[in-house]
Structures are given as C-alpha cells and as structure tokens.
Amino acid sequence: MPELAKRQGSAAAPGVTDVLTRAADYAAAGKAASTRAAYRADWQHFRLWAEAHGEGALPAAHSAVAAYLVEMADQGLSVSTIGRRLAAVSHAHRLAGHAEPSSAEPIKAVLRGIRRTLGVAPARKEPAVAGTLAAMLAQMPDTLVGLRDRALLLIGFSGALRRSELVGLDVADIGRCADGIVLTLAFSKTDQEGRGQAIAVPHGVTLQPVAALDAWLSAAAITEGPVFRPIDRFGRVGATRLTDRSVALVIKRWATAAGLDPTLFAGHSLRAGFVTQALGVGVDPLDVARVTRHRRLETLQAYDRRTAFDGHAGKDFL
C-alpha cells in the first residue's frame, strides 16, 4: 500500500520523513489486521492489472477503475469481492492524498449496474444452533483435541464471537464471577480503537460452556497466554494461538463426524447460530444485540437464519 511519506518526495528531511512514515502506520492501523491484509492483497491485484493494461495505478483514471470492475464482473467474481477490491483501491488513494475512485459518480454508476446484473444476495452458511452444536459435541472424545474443540465451539457460540475474537482470547481476558465468566475483548471489528468490550458467558445448564472451557484449560495446563492453541500429532499443546481459519476447520470436522454436510458450515456459523437460536426462542432482539454488540438491529437481522415461516406474525390466527 502507498505511504504518506511518498507524498513529500525525496526533498523531505530525514526527521520529517520518519514522522510521515509513522503517520502512515497510524493511518493504516485504523483498520483491523485482517482488513489490512486483505487490502494489501487487493491493492497488489489492481496494481498488477493496471500494469498489464498500461494504466497508472496511483492515481488511477476513472476509466481504468471502471474497466477493472467490469472485467471482474465478466469473470464471474461476486459483488462482495468486487466491492472489497474497489474499497482497497480507494483506501490506497486516500492514504496517498488522492480522491477516492469509489466516490466518483462514473464508478458508482458502474458498481450499481454490476449489482443489478449479478445480484447482491450473499451465500449464507447454516447456523450452528444449539441442537446442531449438541450433535457435534456428542462426537467429541475426552482427548486434548476433543476438549479444546468442545470449549472452542461452546465459547464461540455462547459469546456470539467472531472468529478473530475467539482465537484472540488470552487467559488474562477471562474474568470470573458467580454467574459465569466475563470475556474482555481489547479489539474487535466494531471496536477498532481498543476501548474494550465485555462479553458475559453464563455457566449454563445444558451446554455448560464455562465448564467446557475450564476442562480444556486444566487438561492443557494453560495458565497464561493464548486460550486456544494448536496440538501436534504427538498430543503436545503449542504456545501459539490458533488462526481464525482454524475455527471453520474445527466446525467442519465435527459437522462431518455428526453426519452433517460440512460445506454448509463456516466460522460464522457459531455467531449466526447464537442469534438464530436466541431469536427463535423469543429473546428480545435488544438483549441479543447486547451479546453480539450490534449497534443496529438491521445488522443483527442479517445473522438470523430462521425461515420465513418461523415466528410468522400470522401463524396463530391464519
């Protein structure tokens, strides 16, 4: 990605250049690590495309960006992928002090046409609701892997955590009280500035997520550092944390063991499962949003995987 320091050219004094470089770092830090990684890859994709087509990448002509979007649409890429790559190109322009292509009306018009042509309905994965989760848990042995995966799925579900939040947990983030545990998230998708968010996880009487977590920590002798860690083929627990992609692999593994189609599930299935389960049993959406930390109920609704007939307003009188 371009740096702010480049805007000053070679004439900038060394001290000034250092300050500008740090300013660029702070500007980039405004995005989550996963977002920055995606933006870097997407920017590189556009830069190479522009080079291959004899176009300038920074700043890029509106005609070049429009052609880039059209080519991706013709290749069958999803609207979300096209939109993300445009966001990366615009982010690069913003950091370099140029106008953002995504704000230009010609680019907006092209993107609207692509959305109308390709459609914007996302391919949503199945929610891992309580019953589905119980079927997976029933297949897990009392081994280190089984104990870790049981705790991983239950804490992810009961806290409605995103994958990055789940694998990012440290022992120091776990607070204890009579009603259960409180997870403190230093950073999250909706808290990029690190104000901190507290997630309450009750002991529970059926799935018992806190007991599952304690069983894993005790068996693995983990007293500090990352909560969820890799285990090698010799049964040795590592010192590093699992990656966010590991969450999806764990869910798919136990979905397969439970006789379910693993392709229907992903890392987001835990968070979507909590929302779907809670709304399905009549929990107030505001109480659900308090756990998921959604600021808008419209966003929360996107995680609700109930069918159009579940909770239908007229089912009791039609």
- Would the pLDDT of 13 be above 50? no
Q: Where in the chain is the domain with CATH 1.10.443.10?
A: 130-301
As assigned by CATH, the class of the 130-301 domain is: mainly alpha
The single residue of 148, 271, 293, 305 carrying the catalytic annotation is 271
30-54: average pLDDT: 82
Q: Which residue has the tokens 């939040």?
A: 165
Burial (CB count within 10 angstroms: exposed 0-12, middle 13-18, buried 19+), residue 122: exposed
The single residue of 68, 91, 252, 303 carrying the catalytic annotation is 303
Give the model's pLDDT for residue 153: 95
Distances (CA, A) of 14 to 8, 24, 25, 26, 173: 11, 15, 17, 19, 41
Q: Where in the chain is the domain with CATH 1.10.150.130?
A: 31-118
The single residue of 85, 91, 148, 162 carrying the catalytic annotation is 162
Give the model's pLDDT for residue 296: 73
pLDDT per residue as tens digits for the range 152-176: 999 999 999 998 899 999 999 999 9
Whether the bond into 122 is cis, omega within 30 of 0? no
62 carries an active-site annotation:
no
Please give the share of the chain, as a percent, with pLDDT higher than 90.
41
The pTM assigned to this predicted structure is 0.62
The pLDDT-based confidence of 181 (bands split at 50, 70, 90) is very high
The average confidence (pLDDT) of the chain is 82
- Would the pLDDT of 233 be above 70? yes
252 carries an active-site annotation:
no
Give the model's pLDDT for residue 253: 94
101-130: average pLDDT: 82
271 carries an active-site annotation:
yes
The single residue of 22, 112, 189, 245 carrying the catalytic annotation is 189
As assigned by CATH, the class of the 31-118 domain is: mainly alpha
Please give the share of the chain, as a percent, with pLDDT higher than 70.
78
268 carries an active-site annotation:
yes
- Would the pLDDT of 131 be above 70? yes
Give the model's pLDDT for residue 302: 65
- Would the pLDDT of 41 be above 80? yes
The pLDDT-based confidence of 76 (bands split at 50, 70, 90) is confident
The single residue of 252, 268, 293, 305 carrying the catalytic annotation is 268
Give the model's pLDDT for residue 180: 93
68 carries an active-site annotation:
no
Cβ contacts of 1 within 8 Å, gap of 6 or more: 28, 36, 39, 40, 43, 91, 92, 95
